[in-house]
Amino acid sequence: MEKLQLIGGLGTIVMAILGMWGIFVKAGRPGWQSLVPIYNGVVFCQVCGVSGWFFLLMFIPLLNLLGWIYLASQLSAKFGKGIGTTLGLIFIGIIFLPLLGWGDAQYQGAPAPAAGS
């Protein structure tokens, strides 16, 4: 049972990284930025069109839930998607992140600013 949990956990991590890598590349950011803890959250906020400082909300209980819902809606909008994609990102993000990153969806926002901008 423990091996199965380990495999499932590692699979989840790999899917999230691959999804974010593809999203970052589509947004004009280097894919390697999805590998750096904390920094990838700041870049993810920028890709979603909000300040990187928004990421600090993710450390506040309950506000982090509202923050993730907001980021999911902003990310969906940046890819020209609607409420279905937003709900998918909120409830089964592990599937929808790779779909946005590696599917046919195109990033429609301006290229995300470089860090420190």
Establish if 9 belongs to a structural domain: yes
State the residue range of the domain holding 29: 2-102
Domain assignment present for residue 107? The answer is: no
- pTM for this model (two decimals): 0.89
Judged against a pLDDT cut of 60, whether residue 28 lies above it is answered with yes
Q: How many domains does one find in the chain?
A: 1
User: Distance (Å, rounded) from C-alpha 38 to C-alpha 73?
Assistant: 21
Average pLDDT over residues 43-61: 94
Confidence check: pLDDT of 48 > 80: yes
pLDDT reported for residue 114: 64
CA distance to 2, 3, 26, per residue, from 89 (Å)? 28, 27, 17
Residue 26 maps to a domain: yes
Decide if 114 is inside a domain: no
Taken in order 106, 111, 115, 117, the sign of the CA dihedral is: negative
Is residue 86, in this structure, part of any structural domain at all?
Answer: yes
64-108 pLDDT, tens digit per residue, is 999 999 999 999 999 999 999 999 999 999 999 999 999 999 999
User: Does residue 42 form part of some domain?
Assistant: yes
Residue 116 lies in a domain: no
